[in-house]
Structures are given as C-alpha cells and as structure tokens.
Structure 1
Amino acid sequence: DALGTRAAKFPYFPLLIKLIDAHDELSVQVHPNDDYALRVEGEYGKTELWYVVDAAPGAELLYGFAHEISKEEFRRRIEDNTLLNVVRHVPVQKGDVFFIPAGTLHAIGKGILICEIQQNSNTTYRIYDYGRIGADGKPRDLHIEKALDVTSLAPAPAYACGNEVDLFAGARARLLAACGYFTAYHLTVDGECVLTVSEDSFQCLTVLSGNVQLRTETDGLQLQKGESVFLPAGLGHCVLAGMGDLILSKI
C-alpha cells in the first residue's frame, strides 16, 4: 500500500500540505477535535502545524488568548467586535514554528508565508472576519455557536519544537512536531542527503528554498522552491542532491 501501515487507521488520505501566502489578514478561526467533528459534521477534526517560510517586517499572527476568558465574554467580544483585544498577537519571523491543536483559536496575519501541515479535513469555524463582504454582497458567515462549543478559552501553551536529529545522512534536520496525526521535519540539504522511505509511512517533501534533485533507484526528478513530491511507502533509499530547505511530512 502506497500510504503505509500507519495510515490504515485513516479512512482517506490523512494529510493536507499547503503553502499559504497571506496578502491580507486572514479570518480568525478554530477547528474542532475528532470527537466533536465526527458527531456534528460527519468528518474528522483538524490539528495542524505552521512553519513560517517568510514574513514581512512587523508581521504577526494570532495564537490563542492573551489570558483566560469565560464563554460569556467570548460571545460578547465576538458580538461587539472587540475579540482582537483579548487574543494573543505574536510577532513572527522566518523559521518560527507553531503547533495548533484542535480547539486553538488562530489566524495568519498579512505578509506571512506559511507551510501548513494538517489533518485532511475541511471543518473550520470562522469566528471573526474583519467585516469582509462575500460574493453575495453580504458579510461572510460566522460559526459562533459551534466555535463556542469547541474553542479553548485559556492561553495556548508556548510551543517548543524538537532539537536537531541525526536521522538523515548528509542533512541537518530538526523535528518540528510529532503527534498522532503527523510527524514533520525541517531539512537543510547542502550536497547529498540519503532518505529511507519504509513500509510504515509515505513521505511528502515540500521545497521551501533552493533547488534539489531527487534520485531513486529507477528515476530522477528536479525540484524547486514551492514544489512538493509524494514518496510512496516502501520506496526504500533515495537521494536528495543540491542545496535547499525542505519540509518532510509523514504519518
């Protein structure tokens, strides 16, 4: 199976990997956990990881609350448009990492390029949208009642990603996150790096900068910034050659 043995517990392809280039403030939102999403929406919830690929000077994102609030205050601040006064505004720079468990309020700010690794789910509850108007000429829908059900009202804990790991011969590697839904590494290649794709999981490579060549026993592929490639479980050994930064994602 191309997805690997660890993917057997998922009913469909388990990951979405995106590059999000925010030219404006994106909506404030939250995702439910699996239990709530399966019961209410009929699909899985969403836990995700953000890696900041680039950020304009002064750029910031929203990540949880600045201090704990009550559900009543949460509702009131949504209704009177003062929600941004109590959320945590986090200045960001290239290389920052944010792990966003289901239930964490979050938003990407203007001028940030994000690589996002997430559960494969479309369930999103929009909480605040800066008064934007949709294509129908009306304010875009908010999902206040469901957001009240699932949002953690305490400050999000500070997240420290892992240290450098010696798992990929020829590359510097840092563990970004490991959870029940995905594992992600940041790789810096300068020369040649050997990857091993075992039977337990596929691997996805996303190039953040530079140019690298992927070589398997039977084929070769040139990859540049912004491109991704899927490596099926059981592929075995392959080589990355060149110079670049990549995200490696797997189950």
Structure 2
Amino acid sequence: MKNLVYPIKFSPILKEKIWGGEKLKSLLNKKSNSTDVGESWEISDVEGEPSIVANGALKGKTLKNLLETYKEDLMGVQNYRIFKNKFPLLIKFIDAKEDLSIQLHPNDELAAKRHNSFGKTEMWYVMQADENSNLIIGFKDKITPGNYLEHLENKTLPEILNTERVKAGDTFFIEVGRVHAIGAGVMLAEIQQTSDITYRVYDWERVDAAGNERELHTELALDAIDFEMEDNFKVSYEKTPNESNEMVSCPYFTTQFLEITETLSKTNIHDSFLIYMCVEGEAEITVNGISETLQTGETVLLPAATEDYQITSKQAKLLEVYV
C-alpha cells in the first residue's frame, strides 16, 4: 500500500469535438496540435478510455490496474463494495467554442437496461465565460411531451428552453432527465457519474466536413426526459476561505469549494478517495512527504487510504470531490 498513498496525477485524455476550441490549450496548458479540443478527461474509467498515471511510483499504470490491485485502499470500503473494480466518477474540463447540442442523460435504471451503463448525473463549475455566454438548462415553462415533440419537429426547440447567463464561479447541478447544453464561450469543470451515454435531441442543424448531420436520439430521449422537474439547478454555496464549503451533495458524489490562502492540514474523514480539481491559481498537495504542484486545470487523486495531508497556497480555488 505504501506505493499507493501519494498525490496521483493522470495524463489528460483530450477529445476533439465539432464544437471544441483552444482554451484548454491556451488557458489550461493542455498539450495538443488540434484547434478543436472540446474535452480533457482528467480521471476516466470509461470502457476503452482508461486514465494512465503520470507521476510517482505507479507511473504508467492504468486506473483499472490500481482498482484491481488496491481495491478498498483506493476506493474506500463502502465504495468498493458497491462499485467493485469500476471507478464511479468521470472528471473533465470542457471548452465550448460553439454551442453544444441540446441533450440529456438517462437515469441509472434506463442506462443499465439499454446500455449496461450507469446513468449520468453531473455538475458544472464555470471557470471562464466570454461576455454574454449562456448555458441552456431545462424548459422555460412546464410543457407536455406532445408540445415538446411539436417544437422538435418544427426545429423551434430553442424557443421553449431556459437560458442562463453565466460568469466564473457559477455552479449548476444537472440531474438525469434534464435537457441542457453548454453555450458558446463557456469553459467549465464537470463532475459526473462514469458514463458516456448522451441522448442528443437537437444539434442546431449542424453538419460535419462531409455534409452529414450528427445522429439524434429522439425516441430514446422521449421517456428519459423529466418534464416535471423543478428549476432548482443553480447552486448557491458559501465561499469561506480555507474551509471546505459544500456545493453539491447527491447519492453519486459530494463536491466542496475550497479557496486556499495558507497552509491547511487536513485529514481524510471520508470512507472514499478524494479528488482535487484546481480551477484557479496554484497549490501544493503533500501526502506522506511526497508533494505535487496543482496548477489551474490540473487534477489529483488521493486514495482512500490517505490519512493526513497538507495543501499549501497563497491563492488557489479547488473543487474537492468524494463519493
């Protein structure tokens, strides 16, 4: 176990997207020659897309290797009992140069039945937003499935969707079944269940270089949409410096906001791994005498077997995540 307990970094998995841009390279220092990098998968156990350790004694091992070798010491006793050798979260940074498609995600029951997958509850923390940038979340008013389909057929779906003007620090909780889209000009951190199942319902009539439209999932989406959902998606949270401030707590993950201006001595009180995403500034995390610098746009995993550790910074904002 000695080899396991240190601040583990993984090599980012960069994803080119039709809507992606260059902020992940220019603002978060991700290495790519592409001009349309839409996502950086920071910690992934998605089938065929495993994260690979980039530092320390475990360098070169996959996250799956770590799960199979260290089990509860990596995950926590209860988490390992539930998830076995499947890591429950997918951690990303996203840059939308153009509007993403209007989409939603199925719940656990539907995802298991149709795709042998988890559902996809997620949250967003806006890191940077161009002037007048928006997110689309939910409908303006309650509507019926028939009314929704009518707008879909007439290509007027955006008319009935709710838009939210955003700025850095804004946080949103996206439950399964809620229609949503990241708007052009927004860069954010995303924390979600491990799932790559997305139902795309409207794509702005975009075509690719060959003139083809992307696939839509109208039928699959219809019984996955929650038409009754309340407008409780924007998250308000405290920002007390040098303390963990709860942002989102749901059955799938808890995320806390941590602004650091000094050295904090912390103890892992959870039966869980801890993930730190640096969303602003720079911090140093030390475990068992091993230190790693965490810069804006970097992510680190502390195994569940971690006990005491220190975080030091003159000025940094971190998202602290556990299950």
Q: TM-score range by the shorter chain?
A: over 0.9
Instruction: Indicate the SS of the match to 1:140.
Output: coil
Among 268, 287, 298, which residue is 1:227 paired with? 298
TM-score (norm 1): 0.93
Deviations along 1:33-77, one digit per CA (max 9) or x if unpaired, are 001111111111110011111111111110000011111111121
- Per the TM alignment, residue 6 of structure 1 is displaced from its structure 2 partner at its CA by 3.2
User: 1:24 — aligned with what?
Assistant: 98
Q: Work out whether 1:4 is the aligned partner of 2:76.
A: yes
- 2: CA distance between counterparts of 1:180 and 1:115? 19
- 2: CA distance between counterparts of 1:62 and 1:162? 18
User: 2:134 — aligned with what?
Assistant: 60
Q: Higher relative CO (CA 8 A, sep ≥ 6), structure 1 or 2? A: 1
- Per the TM alignment, residue 194 of structure 1 is displaced from its structure 2 partner at its CA by 2.2
Q: How many residues align?
A: 248
Among 93, 96, 101, which residue is 2:170 paired with? 96
- Per the TM alignment, residue 163 of structure 1 is displaced from its structure 2 partner at its CA by 4.4
Is the 8 Å Cα contact of residues 62 and 88 (structure 1) preserved in structure 2? yes
- 2: CA distance between counterparts of 1:248 and 1:199? 12
- 2: CA distance between counterparts of 1:126 and 1:141? 7
User: Superposed, which structure 2 residues align to 1:42-191 within 5 Å?
Assistant: 42-134=116-208, 136-154=210-228, 156-159=230-233, 161=235, 163-164=237-238, 171-191=242-262
Is the 8 Å Cα contact of residues 161 and 175 (structure 1) preserved in structure 2? no
- 2: CA distance between counterparts of 1:115 and 1:44? 20
Letter of the 1:244 partner, please give it: A
Task: Label 1:161 to 1:175 Cα distance change in 2 as closer, same or farther (>3 A).
Answer: farther
- 1: CA distance between counterparts of 2:158 and 2:236? 30
Instruction: Indicate the SS of the match to 2:119.
Output: coil
Deviations along 1:62-115, one digit per CA (max 9) or x if unpaired, are 000001111111112112110000010111111111111100000000111111
Task: Label 1:148 to 1:241 Cα distance change in 2 as closer, same or farther (>3 A).
Answer: same
Deviations along 1:156-193, one digit per CA (max 9) or x if unpaired, are 42245464488xxx713321100110000111000112
Q: Work out whether 1:212 is the aligned partner of 2:278.
A: no
- Per the TM alignment, residue 199 of structure 1 is displaced from its structure 2 partner at its CA by 6.0
User: 2:321 — aligned with what?
Assistant: 249
Unaligned runs of 5+ residues in structure 1 are none
- 2: CA distance between counterparts of 1:133 and 1:228? 34
Higher strand share: 1
Instruction: Indicate the SS of the match to 1:175.
Output: strand
User: 2:58 — aligned with what?
Assistant: none
Letter of the 1:34 partner, please give it: D
Task: Label 1:165 to 1:201 Cα distance change in 2 as closer, same or farther (>3 A).
Answer: farther
Root mean square deviation of aligned Cα: 1.7
- 1: CA distance between counterparts of 2:109 and 2:259? 37
- Which shows bigger deviation, 96-105 or 128-137? 128-137
Task: Label 1:30 to 1:160 Cα distance change in 2 as closer, same or farther (>3 A).
Answer: closer
- Per the TM alignment, residue 119 of structure 1 is displaced from its structure 2 partner at its CA by 0.3
Task: Label 1:199 to 1:72 Cα distance change in 2 as closer, same or farther (>3 A).
Answer: closer
- 2: CA distance between counterparts of 1:92 and 1:164? 18
Unaligned runs of 5+ residues in structure 2 are 1-71
- Per the TM alignment, residue 250 of structure 1 is displaced from its structure 2 partner at its CA by 0.7
